[in-house]
Amino acid sequence: MSAFEPESDNELQRLRDEELIAYIARARDHGDLEAAGRGLAILVFGHWSNVERRVRMKVPDAHVEDVTGAIIVSAIQSAFSGMSVGEFVKWLARITQRRIADFHRKPRVDVVALAGGEDDEDGPRERQLEGASEEGYVELRDAIERVLDRLSARDQQVIELRIFEDLLSAEVAERLGLTVANVDKIVSRFRRALRRALDDDGDTSS
């Protein structure tokens, strides 16, 4: 096995994702966990904007920065053993989904016990008071989930990659074996359906 020479942070920041992943694997194989950890940190920080976009779709604006930061820290502290960019993207997406789920499970300052309510097995029943500033977020989140649920598994993959992971249509098409026109059509239909869902939510005439 050839000798391993750790690279500086400046050198690592110039590497593409696949090169960083190969570097992390080499460092790990040589037992240099410090170098592997630095490489992973730089790799994860390079995806900050992608993580933030995903968080913004599920979390109120006031909490986006905190949740994104928690995801980045969790990823840096976790072990990534994959060997490809695709594996890394899926790994980071899983961490992102878990931290977002944690955010929605945690009692926050806007959660209060129901006055006079009965206790259940998990303790006092609670309800979350939705502030006016979060109404738009809740409406958008619910509409996105409803529209996605009506899509096929393939179309959900397209939306996940094209919108939530911000990949180019050509990249999505190549990954899923579609044409760019197919990808753009699926995305266009999703956006139209989402607009209709949001319009229906706001229509109180019935």
CATH number at 161 reads 1.10.10.10
For residues 192 and 179, give the distance between their C-alpha atoms in angstroms, rounded to a whole number: 20
Residue 121 lies in a domain: no
User: Taking 50 as the threshold, does the pLDDT of residue 174 lie above it?
Assistant: yes
Residue 125 lies in a domain: no
Residue 118 lies in a domain: no
Per-residue pLDDT, averaged over 23-34, amounts to 91
Residue 159: how many CB atoms within 10 A of its CB? 22
Q: What is the pLDDT of residue 125?
A: 33
User: Taking 50 as the threshold, does the pLDDT of residue 97 lie above it?
Assistant: yes
CATH of the domain at 33: 1.10.1740.10
Contact 37, 78 (CB under 8 A): no
Q: Are residues 149 and 68 in the same domain?
A: no
Token match 């995801």: residue?
71
Among residues 172, 198, 191, 195, the alpha carbon closest in space to that of 183 is found at: 172
What tokens appear for 196 in the block? Answer: 């209709």
Given 109, 142, 159, the domain boundary residue is 109
Number of domains in the chain: 2
For residues 170 and 168, give the distance between their C-alpha atoms in angstroms, rounded to a whole number: 5
Q: Are residues 91 and 157 in the same domain?
A: no
Q: What is the pLDDT of residue 110?
A: 38
Residue 177 lies in a domain: yes
Q: Give the residue, 19 or 162, on which the prediction is more confident.
A: 19
Top mean-pLDDT range of 99-113, 114-128, 137-151: 137-151
For residues 105 and 80, give the distance between their C-alpha atoms in angstroms, rounded to a whole number: 26
What tokens appear for 83 in the block? Answer: 């060997």
Task: For residue 178, name the pLDDT band (cuts at 50, 70, 90).
Answer: very high
Residue 115 lies in a domain: no
65-94 pLDDT per residue, tens: 888 888 988 888 888 888 999 999 999 999
Q: Are residues 66 and 141 in the same domain?
A: no
For residues 82 and 88, give the distance between their C-alpha atoms in angstroms, rounded to a whole number: 6
Contact 59, 137 (CB under 8 A): yes
Q: Are residues 140 and 201 in the same domain?
A: yes
Q: Which residues span the domain enclosing 136?
A: 132-206
Per-residue pLDDT, averaged over 131-149, amounts to 64
Token match 């303790």: residue?
123
Strand 123-124 to 119-120 pairing = antiparallel
Contact 197, 145 (CB under 8 A): no
Q: Are residues 139 and 98 in the same domain?
A: no
Residue 127 lies in a domain: no
User: Taking 80 as the threshold, does the pLDDT of residue 192 lie above it?
Assistant: yes
- Which of the residue ranges 15-19, 48-52, 197-201 would you say has the lowest mean pLDDT? 197-201
Residue 124 lies in a domain: no
Q: Are residues 77 and 159 in the same domain?
A: no
Average pLDDT taken over every residue of the chain: 78
